[in-house]
Amino acid sequence: MTVNTTQQHIGDIVSNAYLLLDLRTSTWGASKTDKQASEEIAALKNAKQGSVKVVKNLMAGADQELTAIKQAVRGVRTGVEALCHWWADGQYIFPTTKYMEVVPKVENARKIWEDAVEAFVLVYGSRLAEVQLGALNDSNDYPSPAEVRKLFAMDISYLPVPVVADFSRVMLPQEVAVELATKLAEQTTAKTDSIRNDSMGELRKQLARMATQLGKLVEGENTRLFDTLVSSMRDCADSLDETNFLSDPEVTEIAQRIRDNVVPQYRSKEDWRDSLPLARSTLAEVESIAAAVQSLAPQPQAAVSSVPQPVVVMGQFEFEKQIDKMLHTNNVTTEAMTVVQQLPDSGENDDLVDLNDSW
């Protein structure tokens, strides 16, 4: 196969020194569209039938354990994002040198999620008796205690990064294999460029922040220095090393200058406040590094988000009093349902939400 050799080289480097973390989750959304209530509200507003949708919170007033599961899912996601770099939907990349750091932390976060799920399953049956849906309550909306555990899943896998050579083993026509391999090489190059530029962009931001704070300190202005001024700069140095896919010596030098001259391990924010000469010399180094970074890498391009836009919740209804009256009449709490605009082709089976790590 004939593929751009530079792009293939980048792919080979990434494949040899990096791993992908594949994260897939699903959870029971505990929500359900109520057709009858939707029709009643449309009638109250004299609106066309189908123009609004009432979504019931099936665990209204009894969702403590379910909330803990959602928090645990966010905890896993946050931990993964702190340790790795986004690669594709549900996939994150990290250097193999961090494997012994990444795996235990991710597994600890998953254990918290597993414990939260088991706690919910244990009390699920009794919580159903506490739900505050009033006349909107319908037992047919709920999975059985035996079924509910199957609605929660989390799969975490560690995978090699695909390489061009993979297509030489696939039984495909030569021209198709070359086309697919070329596309993979281009995608890998684009992703590594994006990750590197994001890392550089964050470094520029932190350098500017530090230059501003140290500049105020040197000029005698009353300014607060935060611990994150130090920790964020150290994180930037680590990120530079992790995203230096082609082992660029200039990038390596910048990361080392940050560690040696800006935020060495013994450095704290108080050192600059206690010593203005140190603050001045650090400021000069920060400005020098910023100039080196500016000449080294292009400004990162803004990524186009592929995350679906959220359903727009309707504003304050003119008939708010009528809605409140209906809720009161049916003995329903305000948290038990949400009235939203009806979207075209909306599904009825909205009680199972596949997060698929697309947060």
Distances (CA, A) of 89 to 20, 22, 70, 305, 355: 12, 9, 19, 11, 11
pLDDT tens digit at each of 359 positions of the chain? 455 566 666 778 888 999 999 999 999 999 999 999 999 999 999 999 999 999 999 999 999 999 999 999 999 999 999 999 999 999 999 999 999 999 999 999 999 999 999 999 999 999 999 999 999 999 999 999 999 999 999 999 999 999 888 887 888 888 888 888 889 889 999 999 999 999 999 999 999 999 999 999 999 998 999 999 999 999 999 999 999 998 999 999 999 999 999 999 999 999 999 999 999 999 999 999 999 999 885 544 433 333 333 333 333 334 344 545 555 555 555 566 565 554 444 444 444 433 343 33
Distances (CA, A) of 248 to 187, 195, 254, 255, 283: 20, 15, 10, 11, 25
For the entire predicted model, the pTM comes to 0.77
Of 140, 126, 178, which is closest to residue 34 (Cα–Cα)? 140
